[in-house]
Chain A
Amino acid sequence: MEIPSSIWTLLIGIVLTLVSFWYGQNHGLLPTAASHEATLIDGLFNTMMIVSTGIFLLVEGVLIYATIRYRRRAGDNTDGPATEGNVPLEILWTAIPAIIVIGISVYSFEVYNDIGGFSLHGGHEAPITQEAMSMPGTAMAATLDKDQAGVGATPEREGKPPQLVVNVTGLQYAWLFSYPETGVSTGELHVPIGREVLINMTANDVIHAFWVPEFRLKQDAIPGRQSQIRLTPTKVGDYALICAELCGPYHGAMRTQVVVESQEAFNQWQQEQLVASEETLNKAVALNLPPDEFLAPYTREMGIHSEMLHQVHH
């Protein structure tokens, strides 16, 4: 007596489920999670991966099985059975995917809320400083009475001011960072671990996008408007900050570093930057050159035109 096919089906279903659960959480497809938001997003992805693995194995399995089991035997030129449908089955395979996508939508909605997707307001958390006003387009942006684009404060931090603010400008082909609280201006982003940071961004020329894979957050930097990302880094390390919107032939070279470090190391770095810029300033004063002329050879190397420098806020 043969084992009934329903038993085989049950066993296959169990194996499929176990494999899906395992692979969905051990896929190794994502880099380390270095922000609070990244952990939440990874949870969502793992869930989707579990479901996807299951669906993939089911569909491919049925496909391969049917191809082999129901292939035409030599010499048999007759038709197969005249089955036209099975309404209960069709209802089932409509309902189950519908439930799955509803489930994923609800989970996504929650994660989106938890990373701060709904807590964006016009202007409150993103003070437009005097220096910022000198950037092209920000005057326009300041008058735009619309919600900030991007990702705002998580629900726990809603309503509270950010613990650190960084203003970012994207231009062909570099990122410029300035810390309004201390006046530091750099080409590399440093943030202290565990402190919520608000990143205010805009672009000078074409659309760029600010992306740190380990943070899992990305936002277009659009000329003429401000957008933001607000996040809390949770893992010390050096990560790549990548431009993620085609901005010209050297789009692939437009990347820099994000350094997540302890608060002490961060403070020290800020001090060093201030000292260095003062030295530079002193040297410039000594040379009697205005700052942009003094910096010209360096910026030319970076591909930044001197007119741009006028517009960088410090």
Chain B
Amino acid sequence: MQSQIIDPAKTELNHHHTATVVDPHHGGHPDHRLFGLVVFLIAEGMIFMGLFGAYLAFRSTLPVWPPEGTPELELLLPGVNTVNLIASSFVMHNADTAIKKNNLGGMRTWLAITATMGAIFLVGQVYEYTHLEFGLTTNLFASAFYVLTGFHGLHVTIGVLAILMVLWRSRLPGHYSSEKHFGIEAAELYWHFVDVIWIILFGLLYLL
């Protein structure tokens, strides 16, 4: 049960520390930030799970869903936007591949494209909002629709800003390299998260 590491030097009285043990604290901290981000995204995922759970609960308790009078949701624009977002994840991954090969220029290009696709997604959302025939308080489905997609849209916005920030920082020479690219990996992971959430959301709100 116990760890039985006995350093013979320590069994004597009046010993001093010997520098026999490699101390990782001096020089080269292991980088736990990506793992931290994963843990954080678990929490973020649970907020969405809570919202999805509520949506499903409402959907199953009301006899008619969506409530009577709710206009059908158009599928073309959101469908295209979904494809756009999914594609952007692949584009984002290209940026990561690029920096791992030390291809800074390629990374920046792919990042810029991803950010653009993200912005297109947001524009598409705003377009849809302004052309919908129901408002936030029209009925329960409408409220859920706006809150869920709005909350997701907020996360997409943050993702786009994160990508832009990484792009900005990449202007500093040597800031990102094949060894050091936490920023891109973090932005990529977050972007994939946002994408997966959208797929579930799209399925729940538009398809189900």
Contact = CB atoms under 8 A, between A and B. Distances in A.
B1 A84 contact: yes
Nearest to A85: B1
A145 B63 contact: yes
Contacts of A145: 63
On chain A, which size bracket covers the interface? Answer: under 10
B61 interface: yes
B39 to A, nearest CB: 32
B1 A143 contact: no
Instruction: Classify the secondary structure of A's interface with B.
Output: loop
Contacts of B61: 144, 146
A145 B62 CA distance: 8
A144 B63 CA distance: 6
A136 to B, nearest CB: 17
A145 B61 CA distance: 8
Interface string A109-146: 00000000000000000000000000000000001111
A143 B63 CA distance: 7
Contacts of B1: 84
Contacts of A143: 63
Nearest to A84: B1
Interface residues of B, number: 3
Contacts of A84: 1
Contacts of A146: 61
A145 B1 CA distance: 58
Interface string A48-87: 0000000000000000000000000000000000001000
Interface in B152-193: none
A84 B1 CA distance: 10
B162 to A, nearest CB: 43
Contacts of A144: 61, 63
Interface string A135-167: 000000001111000000000000000000000
A123 to B, nearest CB: 13
A280 B105 CA distance: 90
Contacts of B63: 143-145
A149 to B, nearest CB: 12
A300 to B, nearest CB: 33
A225 to B, nearest CB: 9
Interface in B25-73: 61, 63
Interface string B1-19: 1000000000000000000
A150 B197 CA distance: 37
B104 to A, nearest CB: 57
A84 B63 CA distance: 59
A190 to B, nearest CB: 35
A144 B64 CA distance: 10
Interface string A84-99: 1000000000000000
Nearest to B62: A144
A145 B63 CA distance: 7
A219 B187 CA distance: 50
Interface in A146-203: 146
Interface in A3-53: none
B60 to A, nearest CB: 9
A20 B63 CA distance: 52
A271 to B, nearest CB: 41
Nearest to B60: A146
A244 to B, nearest CB: 24
A143 B64 CA distance: 9
A146 B60 CA distance: 10
A146 B61 CA distance: 8
A143 B61 CA distance: 10
A253 to B, nearest CB: 33
Nearest to A146: B61
A146 B62 CA distance: 10
A139 to B, nearest CB: 12
A206 B129 CA distance: 33
A143 B1 CA distance: 62
A140 to B, nearest CB: 9
A189 B149 CA distance: 49
A168 B1 CA distance: 64
B134 to A, nearest CB: 20
A144 to B, nearest CB: 7
Nearest to B63: A143
A166 to B, nearest CB: 26
A14 B1 CA distance: 39
Interface in B89-119: none
B32 to A, nearest CB: 33
The 3 closest A-B pairs by CB, nearest first: A143-B63, A145-B63, A144-B63
Interface of A: 84, 143-146
6 contacts: A84-B1, A143-B63, A144-B61, A144-B63, A145-B63, A146-B61
